[in-house]
Amino acid sequence: MNNSIKLTDDVYWVGVNDKETDLFESLWPLPEGIAYNSYIIEDEKIALIDSVKINYNDTFLEKIKNVIGEKKVDYLIINHMEPDHSGSIKSLRQAYPEMEIIGNTKTMGFLEGFYNITEGTRVVKEGDQVDLGSRKLTFYLTPMVHWPETMMTFDEKDKILFAGDAFGGFSSLNGFLFDDEVNIEQYKDEIRRYYSNIIGKYGPVVHNTIKKLKEKIDKIEMIGSTHGLVWRENPMHIVEEYDKWAKQETEEGVVVVYGSMYGNTKAMAEAVARSLSENGIENIKLFDVSRKHSSFIINDIWKYNGLIIGSCTYNTGIFPPMEYLLQSLEIRNLKDRTLGIFGSYSWSGGALGRLKAFQKEVSCKPVEPVIESKFSPDSNTFEQCYELGKNAAEAVKNACEC
Which residues in the chain show pLDDT less than 50?
none
For residue 380, the SS3 value is helix
The burial of 64, by beta-carbon neighbours within 10 Å (0-12 exposed, 13-18 middle, 19 or more buried), is given as buried
Pick the CATH number of 251-396 from 3.40.720.10, 3.30.1180.20, 3.30.2320.80, 3.40.50.360: 3.40.50.360
> What stretches of 27-159 adopt beta strand conformation (E)?
28-29, 34-36, 39-42, 46-49, 75-77, 100-103, 121-123, 129-131, 136-141, 151-155
The fold for domain 5-246 equals Metallo-beta-lactamase; Chain A (3.60.15)
Query: Cβ distance 139 to 161 under 8 Å?
Result: no
pLDDT reported for residue 186: 86
Q: What is the pLDDT of residue 400?
A: 80
- pLDDT given for residue 401 in this prediction: 73
pLDDT of residue 402: 59
Which 3 state secondary structure label does DSSP give 340?
strand
Residue among 306, 334, 328 nearest 397 (CA): 306
Q: Would you tell me how many other CB atoms lie within 10 Å of the CB of residue 104?
A: 22
pTM, whole model, 2 decimals? 0.95
Q: Do the two domains 5-246 and 251-396 of this chain adopt the same fold?
A: no
Q: For residues 92, 93, 98 and 104, what is the CA-based torsion angle, rounded to 10 degrees?
A: 90
Q: What is the pLDDT of residue 349?
A: 86
Number of H helices, E strands in the chain: 12, 24
Spatial distance between the Cα atoms of 272 and 371, rounded to a whole number of angstroms: 11
Rounded to 5°, the CA angle 188-194-195 comes to 90
CA distance 297 to 301: 6
Domain boundaries, the chain: 5-246, 251-396
Give backbone dihedrals phi and psi of 228, rounded to 5 degrees, phi first.
85, -155
> Backbone phi, then psi, for 153, in 5-degree steps?
-120, 130
Cα–Cα distance for residue pair 402/397, rounded to 1 Å: 9
Instruction: State whether the Cα torsion 77-79-80-84 is positive or negative.
Output: negative
How confident is the model at residue 246, as a pLDDT? 97
The per-residue pLDDT for 2 is 55
